[in-house]
Every structure is written in C-alpha cells, then in structure tokens.
Amino acid sequence: MIIMKKAISRRTILRGLGATVALPLLDAMIPALTAVAQTPAKAVRRLGVVYHPNGVIYEKWLPKGVGANFELSPTLAGLQPFKDKVTVVTGLFMDLAEALGDGGGDHSRACGAYLSGVHVKKSDTVVQGGISMDQIAARAFEKDTQLSSLQLQMDDNSIVGSCDVGYSCAYSSTISWLTPTLPLMTENNPRVVFERLFGATDSTDPKVRAARLRQDRSILDSVTDRVKQLQRRLGAADNTRVNDYLTSLRDVERRIQKTEEQRDKEVPDLTRPAGIPESFDEHAHLLYDLQLLAYQADITRVITFMYGREQSPRPYPQIGVPEPHHPVTHHQNDPVKMEKCVKIQQYHLKLFTDYLEKLNNTPDGEGSLLDNMILLYGGGISNSDRHSHGPLPTLVVGGGGGALKGGRHLVYPEHTPLTNLQLTLLNLMGVPTDKIGDSTGQFKELSEIGV
C-alpha cells in the first residue's frame, strides 16, 4: 500500500504581521500510517499550579470522610461537578518554612518554599531559595514548546525592596524559581501575556500595536489567508477544532481591547497597566482563559498562577468583604472575620471551577484538556491567624493523561512533606525526579498506574 497523506507538524505556526498563532492538537498532526488506522492524535501532559495566599479557615476546608467515601467541605463544595477528578490531600506540611531561628517572615517563607521545599535565606537584598518543581518540569518540556513556562498572578509584579520583616519582596511575589538565586517575575497584565503568547517580535513595537488597535483589527486578521489554506487540508472535525480555538482567541483579544478602550476614556490610574480590568472577576477570567489557550496550542506545558502575593491587602467588596484580605485573616477566632475569610476562599475556588469547566469542555486527543492535566491548588499557610505551615490546604485536579486517580480524600501522617506530593506529580508527568527539597518519597496512592 502507498500512503500519500502527509501529517501536519505539531509545531505548525500561522505567521502574520505582528502575529505567531500556534494551533491546537489536530488529528491531521498524527503520522500518516497511524492516520490510516484512524488513531486520534496523542495528547501531552501539562502542569498547572494555582496558589491561594494568606491561609484558610482549615476546619471549613477539611472534607468529611476518607478515601472515595468523602464529602466536600463547605469551602470546597463548588468542586462537586468535578469531584471524580479531585483529590484532597491532607497531612502535608512545609516544616522548612518555619522560622528555624529567623523570627518573623512566615508569609515570605510560605511562598519561597512552596514549590521547592527549602528554607529561604532571610535578606531584603540577597535572595536564595531552591529550584521549584514547576521549573523542573519546564526544563523537561522546553525543547517541545515555544515558552518553557508562564508565571502569572493577580497582583502587581514588582519584586523590589522588602515586603516582610527583612525578607525581599521576591519571596512573596512568586512561587517559581529557575535557580536557587533566580526567582521568576510574574505577570498580571493580560495584554502583555497575550502578546507574549501570540505576538511576533515586531508586535512589541508600540506603534505597530497602536495602529492595529486604531483600525480595530485582530492579530488574526493578518493570518486569515493562511488559516483558509490550512483548512483546505483538514477534515470536518479538525476544522471545527480550529474554528472554535480561533473564536476563543479572538474573544480574549477583544476583551483585552475593550479594557484598554475603557481606560482610555477614564482618568488614568498609574498603578494599573492599561490591559488590566477593574473587575477582579474579569481579570481572573482573562488570565485563566489565556492559560487555557496556551495549553491548548501547546505554547507551554507549565504555568503557575497566584491569586495574589502573600500579605495581599486586596479587598473583595463584590462578595461582601470590603476589608483588606490580609488583616481579615488575622481573625483571632472572631466568627465574623472567619466567615469573611471563607467567602474569599470560596470565591477563589468558584473562579477556579469556572476554569475547570472550560478545560473539561476543550477537546484534547481522546479526551479533554482537563483529562491530560495535573493541577495543584493550595497555599503555603494553613491557619492564617497563627501563620502555621501545616496541615496545608491542598488539592490535585485532573487526569494526568490517565496517570492520576481522582475522587478521593487521602490522609497522611502530620508533617509529611508537601514536596512528597510534588515529587509524585513530576514522576506521574513523565519527568523522572528523585528528590525535591525535603522530600522523603512518593505517594503510590495518587496514581492509576503506581509509581
């Protein structure tokens, strides 16, 4: 038999003026001989980390029951539609985030140690931590993707100066460390993220972008002809995937443009870049949607996202919490303040659940993006009033490409290192790793296949 069909490269990029648009996974990207057998295109595994600052009200977080027979807690109740893909892990600690003679600074140590399991150096001028687990994964996948990783958060991205009792702001502003002395700056401006993902080199020129905005043009307009050429080679299912993906991409771009247009009509706020919406909801949804597009097009396979830096003073009047977040978490067992803390935690999880729904509805290989992802959700502080570093609020969500078993509440002995979980997740992703920080071993219970 002579096979004439030629597969499209997984790295196919549509280039236009100021645009580089990567494509989602298509059946046409599988090798020709495999295509004869009508085998779906094979998906890849991806890692996401979502960080919640300032601790939780732990008794409202903790589920009832153990194993598969568990009930989601009041804080986690919104995750019910995805319970079969959720694993709550209890008993994990970050003992090396404790003072160990360094005094105050628990917020900085919480962030600094979260993905590395090391005791960070107390200094407001010299930073020293450890390589974070997301960057271990990024190094393994960087040869296959446009970006090795992406670091996002909702607060401003300054890491200059001292933020917490003699600790550099770098510690509380990021959870990603490329090396023990190089924390990676986070980005909170959707426009900057969008251009990083989909803009060509020349699109960083303000004149090019301004001209496109004045004409109310999308970056997709410059690749229209290339899209049409590509779609002539695709089957019906692939054409649907491409159309849905480009529609989502255009929608995100338009939402960013509308934010910028609205800000042009108002008195400028010099503390907030033009691409950042006033609404926390819209800002979070944009950053989550950009993550989805980055995963879908395989631009990167590793993303960290922070709802805010540790000690974030952000108020949440939209949910009935007009007071700054961090002071409210020092509740001293005041039931009114504690309930406000729970509201914030439930709110963050609602936004996360919206993201999960989109991931679950986005086809990827034989399943969905959620099926092929591992998402770690949690924070480096447990009881916010006492600044304790365990037991930590920790969730794992997703299917891990068939490697991850969900729908359970796993309970481990207290002071089990959080890094044991992270070590397990890396190995389930196909990134062989022997140790992270203070890790002592892996969790075979997390896996469908064993580790």
pLDDT, one tens digit per residue, over 26-57 is 888 876 444 444 455 677 999 999 999 999 99
Tell which phi-psi region holds residue 101, choosing left (phi > 0), alpha (psi between -120 and 50) or beta. left
Tell which phi-psi region holds residue 41, choosing left (phi > 0), alpha (psi between -120 and 50) or beta. beta
Pairing of strands 367-368, 162-164: unpaired
Please give the residue that has the higher pLDDT: either 451 or 328.
Answer: 328
* Relative orientation angle of helices 236-265 and 280-296, to the nearest 10 degrees: 150
Q: Give the Cα separation of 85 and 83 in Å (integer).
A: 5
Please give the residue that has the higher pLDDT: either 11 or 410.
Answer: 410
Q: Give the mean model confidence (pLDDT) for residues 129-155.
A: 95
Determine contact, residues 98/420, Cβ cutoff 8 Å. Answer: no
Cis peptide before 317 (omega within 30 of 0): no
The answer to which of 36-40, 238-242, 308-312, 321-325 has the lowest mean pLDDT is: 36-40
Name the helix (H) or strand (E) containing 305: strand 302-306
DSSP 8-state code for residue 372 = G
Cα pseudo-dihedral 144, 31, 431, 403, rounded to 10: 130
User: Where residue 234 falls among pLDDT bands split at 50, 70, 90?
Assistant: confident
CB count, 10 Å around CB of 380?
29
Pairing of strands 46-51, 86-93: unpaired
Q: Rounded mean pLDDT of the chain?
A: 87
The contacts of residue 182 (CB under 8 Å, 6+ apart) are: none
DSSP 8-state code for residue 42 = P
Q: Give the mean model confidence (pLDDT) for residues 354-381.
A: 96
Q: Where in the chain are all domains bearing CATH 3.40.720?
A: 44-188+299-446
Please give the residue that has the higher pLDDT: either 258 or 155.
Answer: 155
The contacts of residue 212 (CB under 8 Å, 6+ apart) are: 18, 219
According to CATH, the topology of domain 44-188+299-446 is: Alkaline Phosphatase, subunit A (3.40.720)
CB count, 10 Å around CB of 357?
13
Q: How many Cα atoms occupy the beta-carbon half-sphere of 232 within 13 Å?
A: 5
The yes-or-no verdict on residue 423 having pLDDT over 50 is: yes
Q: Give the mean model confidence (pLDDT) for residues 193-199.
A: 89
Q: Give the mean model confidence (pLDDT) for residues 405-431.
A: 97
CB count, 10 Å around CB of 8?
17
Q: Give the mean model confidence (pLDDT) for residues 207-211.
A: 55
Q: Tell me the three state secondary structure of residue 299.
A: coil
For residue 209, the model assigns a pLDDT of: 53
Q: Give the Cα separation of 70 and 309 in Å (integer).
A: 31
User: Where residue 73 falls among pLDDT bands split at 50, 70, 90?
Assistant: very high
Q: Tell me the three state secondary structure of residue 349.
A: helix
CB count, 10 Å around CB of 144?
13
Q: Give the mean model confidence (pLDDT) for residues 128-140.
A: 97
CB count, 10 Å around CB of 224?
13
Q: Which of 27-41, 199-213, 392-406 has the highest mean pLDDT?
A: 392-406
Alpha helices by DSSP H, 121-221: 133-141, 169-173, 190-198, 206-214
Determine contact, residues 119/96, Cβ cutoff 8 Å. Answer: yes
Strand segments, DSSP code E, in 11-129 are 13-16, 19-22, 46-51, 86-93
Q: How many Cα atoms occupy the beta-carbon half-sphere of 19 within 13 Å?
A: 22
Amino acid residing at 104 = G
In degrees rounded to 5, what are phi and psi of residue 208?
-65, -45
Name the helix (H) or strand (E) containing 290: helix 280-296
For residue 451, the model assigns a pLDDT of: 43
Q: Tell me the three state secondary structure of residue 5.
A: coil
Structure tokens at 97: 């985030």
In degrees rounded to 5, what are phi and psi of residue 364?
-155, 105
For residue 207, the model assigns a pLDDT of: 56
User: Where residue 258 falls among pLDDT bands split at 50, 70, 90?
Assistant: confident
Please give the residue that has the higher pLDDT: either 364 or 6.
Answer: 364
Sheet (strand 373-378) strand order: 150-153, 302-306, 46-51, 373-378, 394-397, 86-93, 408-417
